[in-house]
Amino acid sequence: MTGTAGGGKPGSGRRLVVMAAAVGAGWLIVHLPGLGHFTHSSAYLYGATTLLAIGLFGSTAGISLPSLKSHAGIVVSAVTVGVVLKAALITAVMYWAYPQPLFLVVGIAIAQIDPLSVAALRDSSRLSEEARSILAAWSSFDDPVTTLLSLYATALAVDMMGETGTFSIMSVGSFLFSLLLNAVVAIVAAGAWWVLTRRAGLRFITDERLPSKPNILATVLLVVIMGLAAWQLLFLGLAAAGLFFRPWLGPWLDRATNGAFLLASGGLGMLLLNGVDLTKGLLLGVTGFAAQVVVALILTVRLPSKADRAYLAVSQQNGITAIILALVLEQSLPGVAAVVAPAIVVINLLHLASTPLVGRVIDRRKRFRPVPPWSFPLPEAARPTAPEPDQSDVPASADNKAS
């Protein structure tokens, strides 16, 4: 879809250009006669949540489970404490600068790391294999957590404004009920997958393909689960299902995810009918990137490589999830898209600029690192040799004594 970054995958620079082009196309389309109010329709909302479901499943279905198991501690901290801390830092700054209910939400919408961008740069990244696995799992699982936080923060913001909206009926009780429904989705998916893999003679967690007919059935069930998740906003259950419910889809999942990215970018452009708020978007983007630096340095304090810690600190990127959250939340909080859209661009530009800068700093430190003198090889003539034994100290042999 975009330029290659190793392995034929899209690079962040050209991906950003493609996103900007799609946003521009959406902006032009919405100016056509009769389409100005399309973004306020229920079809638009369901379309946005469907795109979000595709993106979330695509991110978690690509996680390497052995890597996830090896770094479970950091990943769990990142998608729980880390996501909440990032969202809190961004929200605190934005609400301090602009004390309006809208700014309780926009920070959460950009708090996650885009897993598609992370996957695109995997082969060209200078991260160690350990750090790559951590970042891949981190970026995949912070999406559903951020989505839940965004939806319920929107409910709080709508309630503060005394208005009604798509998420205004949410409460603590509905939040707990939503968690229960998410668990049901994951359990039902697990039961179906267990039956399919057992009949095929495969393990529950497997990289092997299902036979043709069970694979078709699994694919149909996956479409049903994704549709249910999009309809009832059960994204956490869908993300959990993506860990094990993995029918073989060939290149179609990547194509669907990339297509969702383009459609979501076009949809974001359709929301910008009244323009963007550059000042607030700039502050949001800089704050979101800075929050990642702070949180990553805290969470990775036990990583042995300082280079890995530095690269993880500047790994914040935004893409499909932030875009689609802006689409979903715009109906309840008009103005979200006008702030989030420029913030996404700012964050991605900061990532593109800071990553090579970090690399140059690391290379310079390696180049000028003091080398202990004993590590230099000495020339042959300068190498110390063992002293010749003093013949006067050698005891006389029996022959010498005889003479």
Could you tell me which CATH class the domain 12-176+251-366 is placed in? mainly alpha
Q: What is the pLDDT of residue 12?
A: 61
* Token digits of residue 175: 């939040």
pLDDT band at 38 (very low <50, low <70, confident <90, very high): low
Q: pLDDT value at position 6?
A: 38
Tens digit of each residue's pLDDT (9 = 90 or more) over 301-332: 888 888 888 989 998 988 778 888 888 888 77
* Average pLDDT estimate for 382-386: 54
**Which tops the pLDDT comparison, 65 or 395?**
65
Q: Return the residue matching tokens 């989705």.
A: 185
Confidence at 1, pLDDT banded by 50, 70, 90: very low
pLDDT at residue 164, rounded to an integer = 53
Shortest CA distance to 238 belongs to which of 127, 177, 147? 147
151-202, pLDDT tens digit by residue? 777 777 777 766 555 544 455 566 677 788 889 999 999 999 999 999 988 9
For 278-305, what is each residue's pLDDT tens digit? 999 999 999 999 999 999 999 888 888 8
Q: What percent of the chain has pLDDT above 70? A: 79
| Confidence (pLDDT) at 392 | 53
Tell me the pLDDT of the chain averaged across its residues: 79
- The confidence score (pLDDT) of residue 243 equals 85
With pLDDT > 90 as the criterion, what percentage of the chain qualifies?
20
Which tokens belong to 95? 């609400």
The arithmetic mean of pLDDT across residues 326-354, rounded, is 87
Please calculate the CA angle 375-377-383 and round it to the nearest 5 degrees: 120
d(CA 361, CA 273): 42
Mean pLDDT of 371-377: 53
Which residue carries 């661009």 as its tokens? 345
| Calpha distance 272→338 (Å, rounded) | 6
Alpha-carbon distance 355 to 390, whole Å? 63
Domain ranges of the chain: 12-176+251-366
Tokens of 5: 């970054």
